[in-house]
Amino acid sequence: MHQVYLSLGSNIEPEQNLPRAIQLLHEHGKILKISSAWESESVGAVGPNYLNACVRFITSLVYDPLKEQVIHPIESELGRKRSADKYAPRTIDIDIVLFDDQLCNDKYWKQAFVVVPLAEIHPEYRNPQTQEGIVEAANRLRQQVWMETRPEVLSQFAQSQNVQRRHDEIQE
């Protein structure tokens, strides 16, 4: 089994699409932890604010089949339309951030909307290149951008799925 940390984001009906994406993920593997939903401004283009969250997901699939058989079909089911504009508003975007504790792309370490929710559910993680702890990175990034928790978006879902949540170490 593989342990995967996924980043989920939406700025088209995010209050409905984030919980729905988590429900659909649950049909394809085991969800052990869900972060809070965090609201932030759109990055790269003018558009509605995003809601982002991270989940700890257990699956038997390796990286590429996970993307092809689970993530892309969920994004399609929720109405994701891929376009040349990588900053276009979207119903859902699901990215693999960590696969078996390996950072999949260093760009994620610079994105508050990924690092802050991830720090809630994997506070012991350290950047393998810099050895910076994720909680320290989250606190540093939180000072650079506006973000706030939206506890009402995922709290009911998280309680019903019996998963752990925390954000006490992330400064608000």
pTM: 0.89
| Plot region of 58 (φ>0 → left; ψ -120 to 50 → alpha; else → beta) | beta
Query: What pLDDT, on a 0 to 100 scale, did the predictor assign at position 90?
Result: 86
Cα 129 to chain center, whole Å?
21
SS3 of residue 131 by DSSP: coil
Contacts of 45 (CB under 8 A, 6+ apart): 85, 87, 88
CATH homologous superfamily, domain 2-105+146-160: 7,8-Dihydro-6-hydroxymethylpterin-pyrophosphokinase HPPK (3.30.70.560)
- Amino acid letter, 82: R
Domain range summary for the chain, segments of one domain joined by +:
2-105+146-160
Nearest residue to 117 (alpha-carbon basis) of 43, 62, 73, 125: 125
Structure tokens at 166: 């925390």
What pLDDT was estimated at residue 72?
A: 95
pLDDT at 84: 67
Task: Residue 90: name the closest of 10, 24, 17, 14 by CA.
Answer: 10
Tens-digit pLDDT string for the chain (172 aa): 999 999 999 998 999 999 999 999 999 999 999 999 999 998 777 789 999 999 999 999 999 999 999 999 999 999 877 766 666 778 899 999 999 999 888 888 889 999 999 999 999 999 988 899 999 999 999 999 999 999 889 876 655 544 444 444 454 4
Q: CA–CA separation, 172 vs 167, rounded Å?
A: 9
Residue 71 is given by DSSP the state: I
| Model pLDDT, residue 165 | 43
Residue 114: how many other CB atoms lie within 10 Å: 23
